[in-house]
Amino acid sequence: MALAQNSSPLAEMPRRSQPRIITPNKPAEGKNMYPEHVIKGLTTDTNGLNLHENCMKQQLKKDNGLLSPQRQHSPSSFEDDGLLLSTSPFCMSYDRQRKRQSPPPEREWRTLPASEHSKNTVNPIRRIVDVMSVEPNPAKSLIKLHLGDPTLTGTLPPSDAVLKALQEALMSEKYNGYGPAVGLVEVREALARHVTTPEAPVTAEDFILTSGCSHALELAIEGMANAGDNILVPRPGFPLYTTLMRPHGIEDRHYDLQMENGALVNLQHLESLIDERTRAIIVCNPSNPTGAVYSKAHLEAILRIADLYKVPVIADEIYGGMVYDGAVFYPMATLEPKVPIISCDGIAKRYLVPGWRLGWLTIHDRHGALKNVRDGLRNLAQKIVGPCALVQGALPAILDNTPAEFFEHVRNVLTLNAKAAYNTLSAVPGLKPVRPQGAMYMMIGFDADNFPAFKGDELSFVKALIAEESVYCLPGTAFHCPGWIRLVLTYPEEVTLDACERIAAFCSRHYSLRRPTVVANGCYKSSSSIGLDSERLTLNGNEFIAYDIGGHAQAVRLWKDYYPAVDAIIFIIDTSDPQKLPLAKNELSAILMEEQVANCAIAVLGNKIDRFGALSEQQLEDYFELATWRTGKQKGSAGVDRGRRPLEIFMSSITAGQGYGDAFRWINMQLS
């Protein structure tokens, strides 16, 4: 029976020119697809009063052979299979249900793709540690100076008061359930009592408890910035900053630390990076990885820049209080000017329990600038429903009962290790350690030119150190600082000394000046002072390091203090003033007396003496007694034969530069 035109919502829907025919699954011969009690009610016609029910019944009839062929495919009938299953949303839904109920074709499991968010989440330290799969020297004990976990060495156990606090929290059975996402009120109140100062007063409402300081940093970053924004971070710096930002499309914009100046912040560079999308400046003090501790004046200089551009500060102060060698830790929130600051801290490092995963962030909201951010941080805290309630319950007793002697012991261990490592490694040629004053680390630079086997790649340096000496360090690339390595200072002093002595032995084996090094006396940059500048030069395919040591009378003697060994020297003689010749002769003799100098080329400049005319090459040879140096007949200051010296003399016939260029080419041939 056909349905009246306006009796259904489907009446005005367009009809397909060709009905879509769905071939149902056929039941086995003599069997019905559906139970008898379902089929029994389908032998009478339906009126379409319930379209979904009508569709189901129509399909049931069809599946079980109860619908006539004419009615199955009649385009004029509402009960037509093609129209009904093609146009009715109820029937299409039922059609999909039937398909889902049908067993899918067999197929193999495919490899599922990782999300873009997960692919953009990379911790440089973990990635580098994973690729450092090097077999250590089996003849030497392992010394792992690469991971910042103070529990690995056994030297620094947590205080008994800390362990007792956790035991009491456990036995109280008060901390087995959920707590507020921002942390238990009584715990935040204890933190407020512990942290508040007249310069930076806080209440329990200013704290959010987190799963470690890293989680506090994560909340601060996500609460401050959106995709396309940037946050300024130190270089070298804690690599987790990058890990936390990049998956969200936040740029980690690096400001330089002046490694040659105690790893202080390069304030000019910091300021130059700020733009309208800068949402925060991260300051890590005491510093991981450099061990630097910033003075009050330096921190306030950073705050003045933040105040000038109205950029909040995220203060990573997880190592606060872990200072030594006369350094003082100043919480940034206590200093002027009073810019908005989110401080991130925890119990991992200072209390030596990094596995307990409890940290916090403190909101120092000046000028009401962080009102909305505060609400956002509370929302973000709900993602993990708060950190471990048991450790939270122990925190008030940890803060109140850990004795001062515990912290003093930690500082003493760090002091002894820092002094031992710095004194040992600063005496190693090619290494340049930064003296630490806080945290648990020391950074050591190495001169790639002195270790040519590694071609400037500190990862290769570190791998070879493991293979030869069984000492693990972290390469500086983990901290965005190539050419450096980081040591951890938490071992017993004798172990640290052993590790540093192994590093020194390793460096002595690989230290070399194999890359030709040339010193140009006085003319390289027309300098009248000892500039000690260097530059890479390439000639005939060979790369040189050329140094300018100036040209006055003290040049040679001062040069020896800075560059005790070179492959060759180009000695500049200016003959335009005959009164300079005796001085030049003395300086040349002083250079040739040095055992480290293998080759010497003499470039004669300004070879025109008005009164006497130009000197010939033979005259210069005789005057400077070059023949005796070539044959090794000259004696040193102690009467020791210094051996023969390859010597050549090059005259400037056209320009002053020609003699120098010819001398350089000769040096190149000698060193090839």
Q: What is the pLDDT of residues 306-339, one digit of tens each?
A: 999 999 999 999 999 899 999 999 999 999 999 9
Q: What is the pLDDT of residue 22?
A: 41
113 located within any domain? no
Q: What is the pLDDT of residue 63?
A: 58
In single-letter form, the type of residue at position 276 comes to E
Whether 387 and 254 map to the same domain: the answer is yes
Average pLDDT in the 100-118 region?
A: 86
Residue 551 counted as an annotated binding residue: yes
Domain count, the chain: 4
Say if strands 517-521 and 251-258 run parallel, antiparallel, or are unpaired. unpaired
Task: State which of 472, 491, 510 marks the end of a domain.
Answer: 510
Whether 170 and 139 map to the same domain: the answer is no
Which of 27-31, 171-175, 250-254 is the least confident region?
A: 27-31
Residue 535 clears pLDDT 60, i.e. is over it? no
| CATH (domain of 149) | 3.90.1150.10
Angle between helices 213-224 and 371-381 (to 10 degrees): 130
Whether 3 and 60 map to the same domain: the answer is yes
Q: Average per-residue pLDDT in the chain?
A: 78
**pLDDT (tens digit, 9 = 90+) per residue, 149-165?**
999 888 899 999 999 99
119 located within any domain? no
Say if strands 471-472 and 143-144 run parallel, antiparallel, or are unpaired. parallel
Residue 657 counted as an annotated binding residue: no
Token couple for 434? 């930064």
**pLDDT (tens digit, 9 = 90+) per residue, 571-582?**
666 666 666 667
Residue 282 counted as an annotated binding residue: no
Whether 144 and 191 map to the same domain: the answer is no
559 located within any domain? yes
Whether 421 and 539 map to the same domain: the answer is no
Confidence of residue 95 (pLDDT cuts 50, 70, 90): low
For residues 331 and 195, what is the distance between their CA atoms, to the nearest angstrom?
A: 10
Token couple for 365? 């909201």
**Could you tell me how far CA 241 lies from the centroid of its own chain?**
8
Whether 387 and 444 map to the same domain: the answer is no
Place of tokens 């630390």: 257
Whole-number percent of the chain with pLDDT over 70:
63
Whether 355 and 318 map to the same domain: the answer is yes
Confidence of residue 655 (pLDDT cuts 50, 70, 90): very low
Whether 412 and 336 map to the same domain: the answer is no
In terms of pLDDT, which residue wins out, 291 or 96?
Answer: 291
DSSP helix/strand/coil, 389: helix
**pLDDT (tens digit, 9 = 90+) per residue, 585-606?**
776 676 666 555 556 666 665 5
Task: State which of 510, 536, 565 marks the end of a domain.
Answer: 510
Say if strands 341-346 and 359-364 run parallel, antiparallel, or are unpaired. antiparallel
166 Cβ contact list (under 8 Å, min separation 6)? 356, 390, 391, 394
Residue 529 counted as an annotated binding residue: yes
**pLDDT (tens digit, 9 = 90+) per residue, 411-454?**
999 999 999 999 999 989 889 999 999 999 999 998 877 787 88
**pLDDT (tens digit, 9 = 90+) per residue, 365-392?**
989 999 999 999 999 999 999 999 999 9
107 located within any domain? no
Q: What is the pLDDT of residue 542?
A: 52
Q: What is the pLDDT of residue 459?
A: 87
Which of 103-112, 289-298, 514-523 is the least confident region?
A: 514-523
Task: State which of 377, 402, 427 marks the end of a domain.
Answer: 402
Q: Which residue range is the domain that position 250 belongs to?
A: 160-402
Residue 43 clears pLDDT 50, i.e. is over it? no
DSSP helix/strand/coil, 390: helix
Average pLDDT in the 113-138 region?
A: 83
Confidence of residue 409 (pLDDT cuts 50, 70, 90): very high
Q: What is the pLDDT of residue 91?
A: 55
The full DSSP string for 42-83 is GSS----SSHHHHHHHHHHHHHTT-S-HHHHS-TTSTT-HHH
Confidence of residue 122 (pLDDT cuts 50, 70, 90): confident
Residue 608 counted as an annotated binding residue: yes
Q: Give 284's DSSP letter.
A: E
Helix H, strand E, coil C: the string for 626-657 is HHHHHHCCCECCCCCECCCCCEEEEECCCCHH
Confidence of residue 262 (pLDDT cuts 50, 70, 90): very high
Whether 189 and 240 map to the same domain: the answer is yes
319 located within any domain? yes
Q: What is the pLDDT of residue 189?
A: 98
| CATH (domain of 601) | 3.40.50.300
Whether 398 and 413 map to the same domain: the answer is no
For residues 444 and 239, what is the distance between their CA atoms, to the nearest angstrom?
A: 17
Residue 275 clears pLDDT 50, i.e. is over it? yes
Whether 562 and 598 map to the same domain: the answer is yes
Is pTM, for the whole model, over 0.85? no
For residues 362 and 192, what is the distance between their CA atoms, to the nearest angstrom?
A: 9
Whether 467 and 535 map to the same domain: the answer is no
For residues 506 and 520, what is the distance between their CA atoms, to the nearest angstrom?
A: 31
108 located within any domain? no
312 located within any domain? yes
Residue 609 counted as an annotated binding residue: yes
282 located within any domain? yes
Confidence of residue 615 (pLDDT cuts 50, 70, 90): low
